[in-house]
């Protein structure tokens, strides 16, 4: 893996770069052969929070994680832990798919113990998703500004609506930086 580490409006010191490469290097143990890919790492400080974003494009899946904390090294540790959980979660699915298509092995090792495993048994809190509620509602045509207002009035972090200008289903959401984003559907 090749590491592209860049800082947004901050300098990437040799110590931070070395720490990132050492920690992300731990992920190579999950692969049959180390992937020949570029690992993109962006570090920044936003409102006294040290933010680390990592993107690892792999064949068939893109691993992406973002973490923030009051310490840069803690953020790096947290983001690597999150990536490890993603890899463990995807390895069974990817290897099963590889076997079904007739390939001998998938790109991920099957027998790597989890970092938090106890006697070889891993906590399965991420293996299944439990759906606890279903909501149905009628979409009302409105513009983006009205949708943001409705979202804020409800106290939610996102709001689904029918865009009056395009007649398409859109989602407005509150970003981590406090500003707003819009998701448009593509047909």
| Domains present along the chain, CATH in parentheses | 2-100 (3.30.160.100), 141-184 (3.30.505.50)
Q: Which three-class secondary structure state does DSSP give residue 158?
A: strand
Q: Give the pLDDT of residue 122.
A: 44
What is the CA 36 to chain-centroid distance, rounded? 20
Q: Is 111 exposed, middle or buried (0-12, 13-18, 19+ CB in 10 A)?
A: exposed
Show the 3-state SS of 83-152. HHHHHHHHHHHHHHHHHHCCCCCCCECCCCCCCCCECCECCCCCCCCCCCCCCCCCCCEECHHHHHHHHH
Q: Give the pLDDT of residue 100.
A: 65
The pLDDT profile of the chain, 187 residues, written as one tens digit per residue, is: 888 899 988 888 899 999 999 998 888 887 777 778 888 999 999 888 899 999 988 777 788 899 999 999 999 999 999 988 888 877 766 666 666 665 545 555 555 554 444 344 444 444 566 778 888 888 889 999 999 998 888 888 899 999 999 989 999 999 888 899 999 987 6
Cα–Cα dist 57/65, whole Å? 12
Q: Give the pLDDT of residue 173.
A: 95
Cα–Cα dist 168/151, whole Å? 18
Beta strands 38-46 and 2-7: pairing type? parallel
From the list 77, 58, 57, the residue with the least C-alpha distance to 67 is: 77
Q: What is the pTM of this model?
A: 0.57
Q: Give the pLDDT of residue 116.
A: 45
Q: Are 117 and 91 in contact (CB under 8 A)?
A: no
Q: Give the pLDDT of residue 125.
A: 45
Q: Give the pLDDT of residue 121.
A: 41
DSSP summary character for residue 186: -
């Amino acid at each position: 893996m090749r590491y592209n580490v860049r800082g947004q409006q901050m300098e990437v010191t040799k110590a931070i770069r070395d720490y990132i490469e050492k920690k992300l290097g731990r992920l190579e143990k999950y692969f049959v052969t180390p992937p020949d890919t570029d690992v993109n790492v962006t570090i920044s400080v936003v409102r006294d929070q040290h933010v680390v974003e990592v993107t690892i494009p792999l064949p068939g899946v893109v691993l992406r994680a973002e973490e923030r904390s009051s310490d840069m090294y803690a953020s790096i540790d947290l983001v690597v832990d999150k990536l490890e959980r993603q890899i463990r979660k995807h390895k069974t699915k990817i290897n099963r798919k590889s076997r079904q298509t007739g390939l001998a092995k998938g790109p991920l090792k099957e027998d790597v113990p989890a970092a938090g495993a106890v006697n070889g048994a891993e906590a399965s809190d991420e293996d299944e998703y439990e759906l606890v509620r279903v909501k149905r509602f009628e979409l009302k045509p409105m513009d983006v500004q009205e949708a943001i207002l409705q979202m804020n009035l409800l106290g939610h972090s996102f709001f689904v609506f029918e865009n009056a200008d395009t007649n398409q289903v859109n989602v407005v959401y509150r970003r981590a930086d406090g500003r707003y984003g819009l998701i448009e559907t593509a047909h």
